[in-house]
Structure 1
C-alpha cells in the first residue's frame, strides 16, 4: 500500500463513526425530562372530566418539546382526537402543557392552545352537548333551549344539503356555538369584525383536501337576529359547504361554490328572486347589470355590504338559471367538473355552451327578472 493512501484508510472508519453518531443517535434525555414526559403521558390518557359528554375517540397528546426552568416546565404537544360518529379522521391541535414539580413528583397544572394555534371550544368554558338525528351541537355559555333549536335546524339542513348534493358525504354535521362573536373569531383565528352580522360559517378551507373535521361555527349574536326562515337558509347553506367540501378545489369558482350552497338553501322556499336578491334587483333596475359573473374578490367581507350582497345574490341566480334551464343534474355535474377540470372545459362538458354564452344568458335572465 502506498504511503499516500495509508492515512486515508485509517481515517475513514473514524470519520464514518462520527457521522453516524451525529446523524442517527437520538439526543440523550435526562431523568427530569423523562419524568416530565411520563407525567404528561399519564395525565393525557383520558380526556378531562369536563368533556365527558363529548363523544371523543382516539384522544392522545404527542409530546414534541420540553422546556424546563427549575421546578417548572412547559411542554409542547400535538393533541389528536376524533368526534365519534362524525369525524372521518383525527382532528389536530397544537397545545402547551404546563408541568410543575410538587412533593417530589412532576404534575400537570395547566393546558392551553400553543402560541399561534387556534383554541378548542372547551378552552372557552364548560361545553354543553346536544345530539340531533343528523347533528352534534357543542356550545359554551348557551341555554339548552338555544342549542336544541340549533340542533333541530341542523337536522333539517342535512337532508336539504343531501337533496341538492347527491355526491358522497357523511350526511351529518358538527355545529359549534361559542358564547359570543369574539369567541367565534378566536376559534377561527380572524378579527371579530369580519363576522359581525354573519349567522354562521364553516371551518373547512377550499382546496384543503378532505377536511375530516369540518365544523359549522355559529355567531350567537348574528343568529339571534335572523328570522326563522333566515336561520334555515344560513344553516343549510353552511352544511352544503360541508357536503361539497371534497368536490371543491382551488379551481372551483367561488361564485359557483356560494351560489350552489344558496341554491340548496332556497330549494323549496317560497322566497322569490325579488325577496331573496333585493340588492341585485335595485342595481339591475338602475341599469347596472353586472359585467360578468361574481369574482372571488367580490365575496370579501369588510367592504361595501351592498356589493357583497349583489355577489351572493348573483351567484345564487346563476345557479338557479343553470338548474332551471339545464336541470339539477347538470348543475351538480358542473360543480363536480369545475373542481377537477379547467373552467371552459367544465362548462362545455356539463352545459354544452362556452363560459361567455353562460354569462350572457345570466345577464339576460337578470334583465328579464328585474325589469
Structure 2
C-alpha cells in the first residue's frame, strides 16, 4: 500500500480518536450522586430546627435563598408555630447536574391552636452549593393541597376567640377577627359541650388560592363563601375555616357574620359529626345558630322555599346529602339549606334545644333512623310529614 493510499485511513482514525477524546473529556461531567435518605433527613432536620428556633444563621446554612423577602423564612415570620418537622419519604436525582429532589411529609403545629400536628406532603428541591447540599425550593407535592404560606408572607391576628391567618392587609385580618370574636360565643350558646371554643380562620387572596388550599378546582368553590375542614377524631389538628375572599366580598355585613358563625358551629360540633350525620341536620343546625344571632323575618330568611310554598310546591322529602353539592344551581342549593334549617327549627320548637342536641349526637353515631326513634320517639316519615306541615304554616 502506498502512503497516498493509506492517508484516508489515518485521517479516519484521527477523527475517531478526536471523537473519543471529546466524549471522554469535553462532554458535561455527571454531577455528584443525590444525598442518601439519612443525609437528606439530617439536612431537613437542621432546616426545621432553625425555623422553630428562629435562628437566621442556621437557616441560611441550609438554604440557598437565605432569609430574603421571598424565602419561606420570611413568609412564615408572622405565623405562630409550635412545631415544624419533616419525615423524608424519598430522594431522587434532579434533572440538572448537582441537584436532587426530596419528597417529605411536613408535620407542623400552630401555637395555642393545634392539639396535634397538621400534615402536608411536600417536595423540596436541593442543590449542591459550595460543597454542601442546600434547599433551594419547597412546594406542595403533586396532587397535594398547598399551604397558606406557599402564596406569600402571612400575617396573624390572635385573640381569645382563636387565630386568623391571611396574606392580605392588617385591616382585612382585623375585620375577620371581629367576625370570629362574635361567632364563637354564639356557637357556644347553641352547642355548649366539649369543644375548644376557638377557631382558626385562613384568609387567602383569591378563589384560586382557596381551591389550592383545599386541594380542589376553583369551580367547586366559586359560589361558596367559606369551608370548614377537620376531623372528628381526637388528637387531630384544629379545624380550619378557609375563606373564599371573592364570594365573601359579595356579602353584606349581616351575611359575612352569618357565614363565619355558621362555620364556627361546624367547628363546635365536629367531634360528634360523622359519616352517619345527614347534611340537612349538620347544615341546618349551623344555620339555626347563625339565624338566631342575626334574626330576619322568615320570608326574607327562606325566600326560595317561601316562593315554592306560595306556588303549592311543598317539598315531599327532607333534602338528601346530594342536594348540598353545588352544581351551578344556586336555587336548588338554597332550597336545601333553607329546608335543613327549618327542619332543625321545628325540632327545637317542638322538642326543645336539649333534645335537638341529643338528636344530633345520636344521629352522628347511630344514624338518623335510630335518632328519630330513640331521642324523639317518632319516625323519619312522621317527622317529614310534620316538617311539610310546618313549612305550610310558617311560609304559607
TM-score in same-fold range (> 0.5): yes
Q: Superposition pairs for residues 89-128 of structure 1, below 5 Å?
A: 89-128=116-155
Tell me the residue number matched to 2:47. 43
The total of aligned residue pairs comes to 341
Tell me the residue number matched to 2:210. 184
Tell me the residue number matched to 1:132. 159
CA RMSD between the two structures: 1.8
CA distance in 1, matches of 2:367, 2:249: 41
The reply on whether 1:308 has 2:333 as its aligned counterpart is: yes
Alignment partner of 1:340: what SS? helix
Conserved in 2, the CA contact under 8 Å of 1:161 and 1:264?
Answer: yes
CA distance in 1, matches of 2:379, 2:235: 30
Show structure 1 runs of 4+ deviating over 6 A: 207-210
Please give the per-residue CA displacement for 1:159-218, whole angstroms capped at 9, x wherever unaligned: 11111111211110000000001110111122212222322111236x777752310011
Of 176, 181, 185, the match for 1:150? 176
Conserved in 2, the CA contact under 8 Å of 1:211 and 1:246?
Answer: no
Of 352, 371, 382, the match for 1:346? 371
Q: 1:31 Cα shift?
A: 6.9
Conserved in 2, the CA contact under 8 Å of 1:76 and 1:95?
Answer: yes
Q: Superposition pairs for residues 287-366 of structure 1, below 5 Å?
A: 287-366=312-391
Unaligned runs of 5+ in 2: 1-32, 52-72
Deviates further, 342-351 or 178-187: 342-351
Conserved in 1, the CA contact under 8 Å of 2:37 and 2:88?
Answer: no
Q: 1:270 Cα shift?
A: 2.6
Q: 1:306 Cα shift?
A: 0.9
Q: Superposition pairs for residues 26-65 of structure 1, below 5 Å?
A: 34-47=38-51, 48-65=73-90
CA distance in 1, matches of 2:235, 2:389: 37
Q: Superposition pairs for residues 175-214 of structure 1, below 5 Å?
A: 175-204=201-230, 211-214=236-239
TM-score normalized with structure 2 length: 0.82
Deviates further, 187-196 or 71-80: 187-196
Please give the per-residue CA displacement for 1:139-165, whole angstroms capped at 9, x wherever unaligned: 11x121111010110111111111111
Alignment partner of 2:202: what SS? strand
TM-score normalized with structure 1 length: 0.88
CA distance in 1, matches of 2:126, 2:245: 35
Tell me the residue number matched to 1:3. none
Tell me the residue number matched to 1:270. 295
Distance 1:368 1:119, change over 3 A: same
CA distance in 1, matches of 2:229, 2:151: 17
Alignment partner of 2:104: what SS? strand
The reply on whether 1:281 has 2:285 as its aligned counterpart is: no
